[in-house]
Amino acid sequence: MINRKSREEIKLMRHAGHIVALVHQEMAKVIEAGISTLELDKIAYDIIKKNKAIPTFLGYCGYPNSICASINEQVVHGIPHQDTILKEGDIISIDVGATFRGLVGDGAWTYPVGKITPEVQHLLDTTKKALFAGIEKMIPDTKLENVSAAIEDVANENKVGIVRQYGGHGVGREMHEEPFLFNYRTNSSVIIKKNCAIAIEPMLNLGCDEVHTLADGWTVVTDDKMPSAHFEHTVVASEDGPLIMTELM
Ligand code: MF3
Ligand code: CO
């Protein structure tokens, strides 16, 4: 069952989303060659705590940290580590969740570390474009398939791979609620309900679609070791159009 959010729940989600955006604002400042992903995790944890929220990921299914930090061929769920040091030319996807008074905001962004190649920049631009194309389709009483199709079309036009094992999701009192959102067409007949909240999160690859999980049980990487990008916003389908929760207020 897809649930609708009350006005009060949307207000709280907007607050949770603002905290997620504060973390990303700081990530954009501190990400540079030489910093470790564990330092980034600590910075994120402190911002979430300072804002009286709970790091949603910490302890989720046993996950050990507050952010996922996925470098280059890592798609999602990279675990922060003191020995994982960013270097010039890397890309790093930071995914973070904050729970504020019981409501979750979930958002991810891929950052360049210094100068990156034009091909990788194009992957970042394309993935961000796919996210916003999907967001535009978050209209009540229309098909969720339109969101999937918009993402797929941007990926195909730009000849990048689409990660198929992972996708977006309903979000609210739980990080993962119904419905699942595919990043490609599936002929789904699910309808976007008014005031439902969905985390839209295209994961696109410079190479092939295929991915697998490393022996740590978390880190997802591309089979061909080509770079992967991930952009995510939590979005409410309001009657006035899509509302992004995970932006600065
Ligand atoms: N935030 C991820 C998602 O977008 C899930 C992270 S899993 C966790 O769905 F274990 F790291 F929390
Ligand atoms: Co998510």
Query: What is the pLDDT, as a whole number, of residue 140?
Result: 98
Class of domain 7-244: alpha beta
Instruction: Give the relative orientation of helices 118-136 and 145-157 as an angle to the nearest 10 degrees.
Output: 160
Give percent of the chain with pLDDT exceeding 90. Answer: 100
Residues with CB under 5 A from ligand 2 (ion): 106, 199
- Looking at residue 1, what is its pLDDT? 85
Measured from the alpha carbon of residue 56, the closest ligand is 1
pLDDT at 43 over 90: yes
Q: Return the pLDDT at 28.
A: 98
Q: Where are the domains of the chain?
A: 7-244
- pLDDT value at residue 223: 98
Q: What is the pLDDT of residue 50?
A: 98
Strands 197-200 and 168-170 come out as antiparallel
- Upstream peptide bond of 227 is cis (omega within 30 degrees of 0): no
Average pLDDT, the chain: 98
Looking at residues 140-166, what average pLDDT do you find? 98
Please determine, for residue 208, whether its predicted confidence score (pLDDT) is greater than 90.
yes
Confidence of residue 202 (pLDDT cuts 50, 70, 90): very high
Q: Summarize the confidence of residues 111-140 as an average pLDDT.
A: 99
Q: For residue 246, is pLDDT > 90?
A: yes
Q: How far is the CA of 199 from the centre of ligand 2 (A)?
A: 5
Whether the pLDDT of residue 94 is over 90: the answer is yes
Q: What is the pLDDT of residue 42?
A: 99
How far apart are the CA of 41 and the centre of ligand 1, in A?
14
Q: Give residue-wise pLDDT tens across range 159-178.
A: 999 999 999 999 999 999 99
Examine the pLDDT at 6 and tell me if it is beyond 90. yes
User: Nearest bound ligand to CA 68?
Assistant: 1
